[in-house]
Chains A and B, each alone.
Chain A
Amino acid sequence: MNGQNIIIKSLLFLYFFLSISSCQKKSINYILYYQKVNEIDSIYRLANNPKLAAEEYKKFFEAGEYEPKNQERINEYETYITLADRYNIDFGGKESLKKLILLDAQHGGNCKKYFPLFKKYGVDSLYVKDQIANWKKSLNQTLIDSFTIAMKRDPLGRPFDSAVSMPNVRKNAKLLIWTFNKYGYPTPQKMGTTGHDNTFFAMPTFLTHMVEAKEYPFIKSKLYEYIKSGDCLPRDYALMVDVDAFLYDKEGLYRFAPGVSTDSAKINRNRKSIGLPSLKHTAALRRDFFKTIDQ
């Protein structure tokens, strides 16, 4: 009897151990998030079915597997809430709007464009200001100081004086790796999008310049990990990787550099593999983006 008990107990222990370890194995992979968002956005933007897109977004965001993002051009969370409001779908009210406030603030926005919507759901401008001010207080000042300096020195000597730009590339690569080790990827959640003296953290340009650093292979592999963790944008990674391919006559993977591959099906597969939208979808996003900023 005792022996049986021990066997049952050890089987139960094994069961719990296995279920815990399988939970741990299922770590977050934001590439799956980006793929799902691209799929839903194409229902909205390409198939022109906004109601279905809103319902799909609701299912996806309410599953809670991933914290929402609001990427440039796709603006998935903003699109979800705006469409849900239009079709009277419950998007979670104030709690979801609070997420939207923080997502907009992280991109340097002031949420003014959402004020009519906020008013409808009882969120006043004072609440928005407080939320943004509190978030700003939580930012990492060390990262802001360091990346203000890094972004200021990044364009120095460019485009022609490599005697000035190359030492700065070395310093910036060192800073980036130091940041990875100490704080992880320098996201807008951690340091906002502008530093001191209104210095804009131009990450696409900054990262692309890393192709000139000797640490490039290491930085590239770290960035791929940071795409999966949801910290680095696939676009910023692709811009960097394709410049490297272009400069060293390798095959371009994502068509962010010209004339390197004409195989669109292959490019689309590569794009999907890091969570980027397809070429056709990208063209639609570009069209909508330029329509907005040229208004």
Chain B
Amino acid sequence: MKKLQGMKSSFSSLENKKLRNLQAIKGGSASNRNSPSHYTTPQGDVHDTDFYTDDVAGDWKYKGRTKLFVGEVTPING
């Protein structure tokens, strides 16, 4: 029992060490925002979403736009 408790504490300290480096988690240090749009056309509805990210807080960068048109998602060359 004593041995088991010891193992548990070493596991959690290992986890804490890992969590301290947020860069190790993909996208862990950056936040993301998205902006959806919707347009009606004679051929059907078009949905756009713009994505922004900041890896330095407040330094927002445009990440990309996806377009959903009649059920198909397409990333854009931006």
Contact check, B39 vs A247: say whether CB atoms are below 8 A apart.
yes
CA distance A235 to B30 in the complex (A): 23
Q: How many A-B contacts are there with CB distance less than 8 Å?
A: 100
- Considering only residues 40-55 of chain B, those with a C-beta below 8 Å from chain A are 40-41, 46-48, 50, 52-55
Contact check, A294 vs B26: say whether CB atoms are below 8 A apart.
yes
Q: What secondary structure prevails in chain B residues at the interface with A?
A: strand
Contact check, A209 vs B37: say whether CB atoms are below 8 A apart.
yes
Q: Which residues of A contact B4 (CB under 8 A)?
A: none
Contact check, B37 vs A159: say whether CB atoms are below 8 A apart.
yes
Contact check, B38 vs A256: say whether CB atoms are below 8 A apart.
no
Contact check, A205 vs B35: say whether CB atoms are below 8 A apart.
yes
At the interface with chain B, which of A36-44, A55-63, A107-115?
A107-115
Report the minimum CB–CB distance from A123 to chain B (whole Å): 19
Contact check, A107 vs B59: say whether CB atoms are below 8 A apart.
yes
Contact check, A256 vs B59: say whether CB atoms are below 8 A apart.
no
Contact check, A109 vs B37: say whether CB atoms are below 8 A apart.
no
Contact check, A243 vs B48: say whether CB atoms are below 8 A apart.
yes
Residue of B nearest to A254 (CB): B77
Contact check, B67 vs A258: say whether CB atoms are below 8 A apart.
yes
Chain A residues within 8 Å of chain B by Cβ, number: 45
Tell which of B27, B40, B46 touches A294, judged by Cβ atoms closer than 8 Å. B27
CA distance A34 to B78 in the complex (A): 16
A218 within 8 A of B: no
B18 within 8 A of A: no
Residue of B nearest to A292 (CB): B55
Q: Which residues of A contact B36 (CB under 8 A)?
A: 155, 158-159
- Considering only residues 233-259 of chain A, those with a C-beta below 8 Å from chain B are 235, 239, 243, 246-248, 255-259
- Considering only residues 108-137 of chain A, those with a C-beta below 8 Å from chain B are 108-110, 112-113
Residue of B nearest to A212 (CB): B39
A208 within 8 A of B: yes
Q: Which residues of A contact B35 (CB under 8 A)?
A: 154-155, 158, 202, 205
- Given known contacts A159-B38, A247-B39, A293-B30, A193 and B74 CB-to-CB distance under 8 angstroms: no
CA distance A210 to B67 in the complex (A): 17
CA distance A112 to B50 in the complex (A): 27
CA distance A107 to B59 in the complex (A): 6
Among B35, B60, B65, max chain A CB count under 10 A is at B35
Contact check, A279 vs B60: say whether CB atoms are below 8 A apart.
no
Contact check, B56 vs A200: say whether CB atoms are below 8 A apart.
no
CA distance A87 to B56 in the complex (A): 28
Q: Can you list 16 A-B pairs with a CB-CB distance of less than 8 A?
A: A159-B47, A162-B38, A194-B58, A200-B33, A202-B35, A202-B50, A204-B62, A204-B65, A209-B37, A256-B65, A258-B69, A258-B76, A283-B77, A286-B78, A293-B55, A293-B61
B contacts, CB < 8 Å to A: 23, 26-27, 30, 33, 35-41, 46-48, 50, 52-56, 58-63, 65, 67, 69, 74, 76-78
